[in-house]
Structures are given as C-alpha cells and as structure tokens.
Amino acid sequence: VETFDMMPLSDAVESSLVLRPAPAPPIPVLYEDDELLVVDKPPHLPVNPEAERELSLLEKVREQCAAPELAPLHRLDAGTSGVCLFAKRRAAVSELAARLAAGQKHYWALVRGGLRAKGIVRAPLRDAGKTRPAITRYTLLARLAGHALARVRPEHGRTHQVRKHMAAIGHPLLGDARYGDAASNRYFEHRYGLDRPFLHCGRIELAPRDGAPALAFECALAPDLAQVLAQLRAA
C-alpha cells in the first residue's frame, strides 16, 4: 500500500493498493479409491467442458489428481456446489453409475416463501428431448426471514429437476435466474451477495456392491451459502 496526498488542503490521505490474483486453491478431495474419486465442487464451475467457459471441474481434477481417464458419474449445474463423483477408469463407469442411480442424493436449498414441513412433488419433466417421470421429496429444515431452508431429495436425475420442481409448487430457489423470482433474486444479491442459485449437494449415498457396505459422502455447505444463512439468522 502506498499513501499519497491528492488534496493537500484536506484532512484526508489517499492510498493506492495493487491486488494480484493468487493461484486457485486445489479442489477438495472427499474420498478416493482405485475406481472412485469424490470431490467437493465449488460454485461457478461446470462439471464438463463448455465452449463459453475457460475451465471445467473435470479438467481441473484430471490435472490435479493425474487421472487422464477420469469421467463424471453425474452432473451438477455450474452454479451448484457440493459432492460430485467421478470414475477413475472408464471400465468402472457403468457399475458406479448404476450404484449411483440406485442410491440417494440430498440437496440443501433456500427457497422463496414459506414451505410445508414436508412434501412430495410428482411432475414429469422434459429431459433429453423426452417427457420423463420425476419425483422430488423435500423436508423443511428452518424458516428464515419469511423464506425456507429445505433438504431436497430427487428420486430421479432429470435436468434441473430440483429447480424446476420447487418453482412448480411456488417456492423457487433464491438466486435462480432461470426459474426463480427476479425481484427476490435482486434483493438477495444486493443484500446478501447471493449470485447463484442457493443449491448445494450435501450428501450422496451409493448403493452397496455385493458383499460390501454402502458408501456415503458428505460435505459442508459452501462458504458463500453459509454466509447468506448467517446473515439471515442475524437479521
């Protein structure tokens, strides 16, 4: 920091500060064995490479873990954080994907307005050009400043399933520019710095392999979302 007196007749002293970006931190690894790699995905990073984005989670983890055959077992939206699973070998993709499909995913979501203690959304969704069945279950965790924090469990893996289903019952995710409420999103971005959908994959359970126990992976709420909750609770 360098100080200088831009206005000599005033009581103020000005300062010049130069900031340079530090190297990006490594992706946190939650679990690893010969076939499976589980990481804590940060927000604003797509799982697969996209033309309009410089990097992807797949590319970063391949380089970080020296795993050239790494393949994603599921997809989280770029704006979603949390548990993300990869197969380390292409030969393991089929079995691991089947165990994931037979397991469970648990998301934490902050939605607009009040919410019942628990509920089920049954509404088919368009996915890959076809209308497919989709069921989502939710449980209320807390009421905060007129909104609701919920644990959401989709029984299917349709594109944007959680975001679409919560919007369909009148409780869109806060920060969701595509399916959410524009006025609420603007307020939460200005007041709490929420610049993405409030959606975090906090736990994934893999169905057990024959003769082996089931596996479950968890990660804490992403820091930016935790900060939003802290401010809401302090209001």
Closest CA to 111 of 85, 140, 77, 76: 140
Question: Which DSSP symbol is given to 115?
Answer: -
Q: Which of 77, 176, 181, 224 is labelled catalytic? A: 77
CB 201 within 8 A of CB 107: yes
126 backbone φψ class: left, alpha, beta (φ>0; ψ -120 to 50) = beta
CB 38 within 8 A of CB 218: no
CB 43 within 8 A of CB 198: no
Pairing of strands 81-87, 199-206: parallel
Distance (Å, rounded) from C-alpha 184 to C-alpha 194?
Answer: 11
Strands (E), 130-224: 130-132, 135-144, 147-154, 199-206, 215-218
Instruction: Check if 77 is active-site.
Output: yes
- Please identify every residue annotated as catalytic: 77
